[in-house]
Structure formats: C-alpha cells, structure tokens
Amino acid sequence: MLDGVIISQNIRKELTAAIEGCPHDKLFVLTDTTTHELCLPLIANLPVFDGAHHITIGATDAHKTLDTLTAVWALMGSYGGTRHSLLVNIGGGMVTDLGGFAASTFKRGIKYINVPTTLLSMVDASVGGKTGINFNGLKNEIGVFNSPEYVIIDTVFLKTLDDKNIRSGYAEMIKHGLISNKSHLAELLNFNLHEPDLQMLAQMVGRSVEVKEHIVEADPFEQGIRKALNLGHTVGHAFESFALTTQPVLHGYAVAWGLICELYLSCVKTGFPTDKMRQCVQFIKEYYGQMPITCDDYPTLYEFMTHDKKNTSGTINFTLLKSIGDIEINQTASRDEIYEMLDFYREGL
C-alpha cells in the first residue's frame, strides 16, 4: 500500500490515530449535506473531534465550484485557521477533490486527511493526490497534485449508499480490472450488481485500490503510465460535461459509457480482442443503461473531448488497450474515427 493509505477495519480507531499523527492548532471537518447526515454520525462523537470546526457544503457535483471553494476558504479563515491547521474531508469524490484543493491552497497549503464514503472515492478520487474543482463548464478544470497525509478507507460507509452510487464506483473498478489482469477483470464481470454482496465487495475494493496505487507510485504526476487510469475518461468526461447541460449523471456512469467507446476504439486501432470488448459492453449495458445521444450531438461531444487535460497541441489523446493489462497511452483518433466510435456506442450490441 502507498504510504498513508489505510484499509481500515475500525474507522474510529484509525481516524483518531491519523488526526493525532498530524499536529495542528485548528481542526476543520468538511462534509456535504448528504455525508453530514448519513456518515458523520458514525464518527462524530470521537474525542479527537472536540473543538473541531465543522463545514458543510452542498452535495453533488453541481457544488464542485469556485463559489463553494471560496466559501470553504472564508470559513476556515473566519474560524482562525493558520498554515498549521488540519482539514479532514469526509465524503465522496466531490468532497475529497474540493476539500483537497481548499487545503492545498489555504495559507499556501495545510495538511489534510481523506475519509472516502462512496465506493467511487474509495477506489479512485481520494487516492492519488488529484484535487480540484469544475470550472467554466469543464470537469476538474482547476486543481493541483497534492497527496493527503492519510486516506482511510473503511467499507462500513458502503451501507449508506444506494444502488446507483455503488454502480458509479464499480465502473472505476472495472477500469482497474481492464488495466491489470484477466483474473481480476473476470471477478469483476461475474459480480452480481443487482444484489451486491458488500462483504465480498469490501475485499474487491482492497484489490482495486492496489491497482491504482501501483500505477500512482510509478508515475505520481501523470507524465506517463499513470495515464492508464484515464481509460474510459476522455469520452467519459465528455459525456459528463454534456450531461451538465441537461440532466447531470454520476461520474461512474459516464466512465462506464466511456469504456464502451474506448474499448471499441481499442479494437479498431490497437487490436483489443473483440470478444472481451463485447463481454464488457454487455455488462455495462445491463447495469448502466445508456445515455441517449443523437448524431447531432457528436460535434458538441467532440468539442468537449478537445478540452481534455491529456491532450497535446490540440490533439485528442486516448488511453487504449492492446489486451487486458497491455496499455497504450497517447493514442490519437481522427474526427471520423471518433464519430464512428459514437455510432457504435449508439447502435452497437
């Protein structure tokens, strides 16, 4: 495991030790309205929280904004925060991303701890040091790389999630299976998401986190192989940004749909096995459905892809696969190939 990443069996004990391990003058606890109601009660009466200042922001990605960030900065300042203060983020990816960015910039940077409460944040958002907010209609447009002192992952919080949020996080786990090995992927594709076994899922979370950690350790600032973690995300982020103009969708759903597109592109451009692609597409369509788009939406989706942070000199870059675990980063595609990919998303299988 990466330094500071803790797979916990006792969240109260581990969080207490983590906070005590980060000397501070002021303690801030950031939640959103959902995690304040459902998750904070599991740990709220810890003695280590005595005297802490609680900050609660709006839930969902609609609040991952500069206005929310400004409000968090202002409250930390009004409560007397200094560069020796500590912030604990308790929530999903929106909270850990925004809270991590707030901590990284307040007083030029204070220490912070992430306590992910959604499956998505456990296996993805809270691990790896990416922080940020949405800006100018674009996902995670502003942010910095800055790792928390600790990430404490305890699957006790999964009991607070509905089916959609379980599935949202699971999409990132499928991605981790695709970039690791056949047995890991097979385990994921054979799991029953209609009636998820949370005890089994907890074990799978640990394996999924290890995949991400291995890649982040090798490339902490996304100069090379860490781009493997972007599989499904070039198109996924475009779907997500597109949905913000109509009906917002959960990140993992957009990634799942992005995986359909980028696995198809992998078959066409890098020789990914068609049978494996179809197996993944069938699983995704069963559990995630499909975001309705028409060919009239292609130019808008293409434009969103041109804003992806992996791009170089205006060229859209994809992470593709030659086979399971055989990763090809910095792959390009023409506008015609991207439109054909979107045709497959709409009409394939």
Q: What is the DSSP string of 168-199?
A: HHHHHHHHHHHTT-HHHHHHHHTS-SSS--HH
Residues 151 and 172 in one domain: no
Residues 243 and 292 in one domain: yes
Dihedral sign from CA coordinates of 67, 72, 76, 82:
negative
Q: Which residues contact 85 (CB under 8 A, 6 or more apart)?
A: 24, 25, 26, 27, 28, 76, 106, 107, 110
Comparing CA positions, the residue from 57, 37, 60, 41 lying closest to residue 49 is 41
For residue 74, what are the CA distances in angstroms to 55, 84, 106, 249? 11, 17, 10, 30
pLDDT tens sequence across 92-109? 999 999 999 999 999 999
Residue 156 and residue 228 in one domain: no
The residues, any chain, with a CB within 8 Å of residue 230's CB and separated by 6 or more, are: 310, 319
CATH number, domain of 82, equals 3.40.50.1970
Token digits of residue 311:
């791009």
- pLDDT at position 245 is 83
Q: Which residues of the chain have pLDDT under 50?
A: 1
| Single-letter amino acid code for the residue at 138 | L
Domain that holds residue 52: 5-160
Q: How far apart are CA 66 and CA 323, in angstroms?
A: 40
Structure tokens at 77: 């300042």
Of 125, 160, 195, which one is at a domain's C-terminal end?
160
| CATH number where 244 lies | 1.20.1090.10
Shared domain for 138 and 9, answered yes or no, is: yes
The answer to whether residues 249 and 340 belong to one domain is: yes
SS3 265: helix
Residues 183 and 153 in one domain: no
Distance of alpha carbon 94 from alpha carbon 62, whole angstroms? 9
Question: CA 152, CA 41: separation in Å to the nearest integer?
Answer: 17
Location of structure tokens 């995704």: 284
CA distance 222 to 329: 11
Choose one of 160, 191, 207: the last residue of a domain: 160
Entry pTM: 0.91
Q: For residues 268 and 336, what is the distance between their CA atoms, to the nearest angstrom?
A: 13
The CA dihedral of 245, 266, 228, 121, to the nearest 10 degrees, is 40
* Dist. CA 196–CA 202, nearest whole Å: 11
Considering the domain architecture, whether residues 323 and 230 belong to the same structural domain is answered as yes
277 and 303 both lie in a single domain = yes
Domain final position from 128, 145, 160: 160
What is the domain count for the chain? 2
* Residue 2: per-residue pLDDT: 56
- Kind and range of the H or E element at 7? strand 5-7
Mind spelling out the 3-state secondary structure of 272-290?
CCHHHHHHHHHHHHHHHCC
Q: What angle do CA 236, 348, 329 make, to 5 degrees?
A: 40
Same domain for 282 and 241?
yes
Mean pLDDT across the chain:
94
Question: What is the chain's alpha carbon radius of gyration, rounded to the nearest angstrom?
Answer: 20
Look-up: residue for tokens 């960030």?
69
User: Are residue 177 and residue 134 in the same domain, yes or no?
Assistant: no
pLDDT at site 349: 61
66 plus 178 within the same structural domain = no
**E strands, 247-342, in order:** 317-323, 326-332
**Do residues 322 and 188 both lie within one domain?**
yes
Two structure tokens written together for 326: 């055989």
